[in-house]
Structure 1
């Protein structure tokens, strides 16, 4: 991630996670499949939209997905990367990765498949569950958006198209989790491998990931893990064997990884990347790194993105609570840092713009969520993962293209 050449006091994209309230639950929950939403699902009353508190305390991000489903996501990480079982043996490697991240040396932190897998084992599971719960809350509160409608199949046979800048393992697993919860037809079926072969179905979600590091190897392994039934014990009961199925149907989630420097994208290149029917764009713990590299270039990128995305497309930004960057050309400690949320609003919600040498009001985005102080807390019981899970304090912004 060479273009994310961060200054030391900025908030890291992949830095050392918070150590508050790590969840190390006892045994995993029963192996019964989580509740899923199918045609017979009875819709609940519309939930009240979350409002940021006014007393300085953080908004609590709810656990929107069943704990059993969240545990299944963790199990995919554990089965995909067997090295996670010997976590003590990974500590020297993880120490190298973390040291590079704290220095802002992303090229070093993600220079090999081994380093990228190490990061995916240690830090991606926490992020994946956080992102999945944030996405589910968006579906609950903004169900009339094209993103939610497409996810539920309202767009016909066309897949829901999602574009993730700075995306990797966590985004893939978060999307898989929300698919499994929202679409009963996304889940794998028992004995699917014994059925007659047929043409691959149309993907339910088309997920494109862009990052300066090459995450294709890690993503390919996770995708295989999602589409492969877990190993059964030789002592498994007949009932367990009858229920044995993969997390997702093969081809239900289509992933594409593109290695690119985001800030180097021209308007023409970005336009070719953004599909005309994309319904969700994400910047998950990525935007402040872009601002840290260059506020001017990051601002230009957001303006290019504004011109490229279609109307009603959602833009989700999640980043560290208190993320901030100093102006271009000013060394750390010599300039007042600008809060990321303030920089974002200046681009997305300008009060006036210049048109033919005149200042006129113009809005190209509508703010749906603007929460600069949100906390995700893992449950005290019910989740088990060798590397542990950390509570995460963050900010969440959601915009809709007008």
Structure 2
């Protein structure tokens, strides 16, 4: 196992909170255009309607992180939130799951106990998935400012990221990606990564415990050899990772408030299993949020969006089959990649994002052997989109 040869000895949560507020969705694309009459005018073809993702053979998400390192991440979850028997947690987890199914994220994450339960049951799966997505970005976009700083190629400071809807999974995923890419992130006090998590739930307690687990060498058996004790080190050095938590409802942020969250050297923004929840709350307000985001994100910054495969939202007041849902990917591209129209010999609006990745049908499969976690790990089908501000 080499540098990952360690085990935790302890024995014994992005759904995301929704925002309230009335909203209206944009009108759906018309089924046909009215017949235009006059000399030389012909009936125009109707515009294309948004289509749901096709259910073909999914693309496999590369499993880049070594199994030994993935197990260390699981060990930290296990040691940070110890329990004697996973069966004892099932009544509480059942309440959380019921609230998540109903879309009541405020109820699902309303107490510290519930947030820790979410971190035990659902965050480990997503942490490993997100970590491997980050690793793919490092492989394929090494010239981006975030990857350059993460890898140590830019001496101007740590890699800074804002995670909307961020919590336990994002912290552990980033820690895993940094540990894999920077072997010197363990045991040496050098700041490499600066995360700012923004969510309507208060994740500060859960995140504080996890960062302590990342920075503390695991407890060894009293029978451990001298060599094992010599190799025993924390997952990360105490100063390698800085995490700030802000409890806020992102759809309520004004342009000025959002601007204040963006230092000029932010190089990555994430919306991981968060954007469709915002669209479900209000398509109009979520669209407005993305436009505000576009106005404040610095040039070269990456925007990573991941969500469930086939995620979609229905306009307010049009539920129960009264209107077809809008695919999340279609809503996203309408804002990020608007169609250019020629107005008085000018192309408007100006394209402000470049799409680097757009995978609507991706499957992450855990290794068949080598990973152990009492709460279980679940393969996940998802969609992943990566944009760069230009």
TM-score by length of 2: 0.85
State the SS of the aligned residue for 2:172: helix
1:154-173 matches, within 5 Å, as 154-173=153-172
Cα distance, 1:139–1:296 mapped onto 2, change above 3 Å: same
Inter-CA distance 300–382: structure 2 relative to 1 (3 Å threshold): same
Residue 310 of structure 1 corresponds to which residue in structure 2?
A: 298
- Give the whole-Å Cα distance in 2 for the aligned partners of 1:185 and 1:59: 33
Aligned residue for 2:350? 362
Paired position in structure 2 for 1:82? 82
1:286 aligns with 2:243: no
Corresponding residue to 1:3 among 10, 15, 18:
18
Deviation (angstroms), 1:325: 0.5
Shift of 1:54: 9.6
Query: Which residue is equivalent to 1:325?
Result: 313
Conserved 8 A contact 2:18-2:104: no
Cα 1:392–1:4 change in 2 (3 A) is farther
Number of residues paired by the alignment?
344
What is the CA–CA distance in structure 1 between the aligned matches of 2:324 and 2:114, rounded to whole Å? 34
| Cα distance in 2 for residues equivalent to 1:63 and 1:284 | 18
The structure-2 alpha-carbon separation of the partners of 1:185 and 1:338, relative to structure 1 and needing over 3 Å to count, comes to same
1:268 maps to 2:256: yes
Please point out which of 221, 225, 243 is paired with 1:255: 243
Structure-2 separation of matches of 1:71 and 1:336? 42
RMSD across aligned positions (CA): 2.0
Determine the C-alpha separation between the residues in 2 that align with 1:169 and 1:345: 28
For structure 2, list consecutive stretches of 5 or more residues without a partner in the other structure. 1-15, 22-52
For the residue of structure 2 that corresponds to 1:65, the secondary structure is coil
Deviation at 1:359, TM superposition (A): 6.1
Q: Do 1:60 and 1:374's aligned partners in 2 also have CA atoms closer than 8 Å?
A: yes
C-alpha separation in 2, matches of 1:238 and 1:358: 72
Cα distance in 2 for residues equivalent to 1:73 and 1:337: 37
Cα contact 1:93–1:118 (8 A) shared by 2: yes
Contact 1:3–1:263 (Cα < 8 Å) also in 2: no
Cα distance in structure 1, aligned partners of 2:351 and 2:316: 26
The residue number in structure 2 matching 1:181 is: 180
- How far off its partner does 1:86 sit? 1.7
Aligned counterparts of 1:279 and 1:391: Cα–Cα separation in 2: 29
Structure 1: distance between partners of 2:60 and 2:72: 23
TM-score (norm 1): 0.82
1:100-179 map, 5 Å: 100-179=99-178
User: 1:96 aligns to what?
Assistant: 95
Q: Secondary structure at the match of 2:266?
A: coil
**Alignment partner of 2:233: what SS?**
coil
Cα separation, partners in 2 of 1:301 and 1:55, compared to 1, 3 Å = closer
**Secondary structure of the structure 2 residue equivalent to 1:372:** strand
Q: Aligned partners of 1:269, 1:354: CA distance in 2, in Å?
A: 34
Query: Unmatched 5+ residue regions in structure 1?
Result: 7-52, 190-200
Distance 1:126 1:255, change over 3 A: same
Question: What displacement does 1:379 show?
Answer: 0.8
Alpha-carbon distance between aligned partners in 1 of 2:368 and 2:78, rounded to the nearest angstrom: 20
Match of 2:245, SS?
strand
Deviations 1:230-267 (A, max 9, x none): 00000001110010100000011000000000000111
Question: For residues 258 and 353 of structure 1, do their structure 2 counterparts lie closer, same or farther at Cα, with a shift above 3 Å needed?
Answer: farther
- In the superposition, relative to structure 1, how do residues 2 and 181 fare at CA in structure 2: closer, same or farther (>3 Å)? closer
1:196-275 alignment, distance < 5 Å? 201=189, 203-275=191-263
Q: 1:261 to 1:353 in 2, by over 3 A?
A: farther
Give me the whole-angstrom Cα distance separating, in 1, the residues matched to 2:332 and 2:296: 17
Q: Which has the larger radius of gyration?
A: 2
- 3-state SS in 2 of match to 1:279: strand
Counterpart Cα distance in 1 of 2:379 and 2:339: 36
1:157 Cα deviation (Å)? 4.7
Distance 1:224-1:356 versus aligned 2 partners, 3 A rule = farther
For 2:269 and 2:345, the matched residues in 1 are separated by 32
The answer to which structure, 1 or 2, has the higher relative contact order (CA under 8 A, 6+ apart) is 1
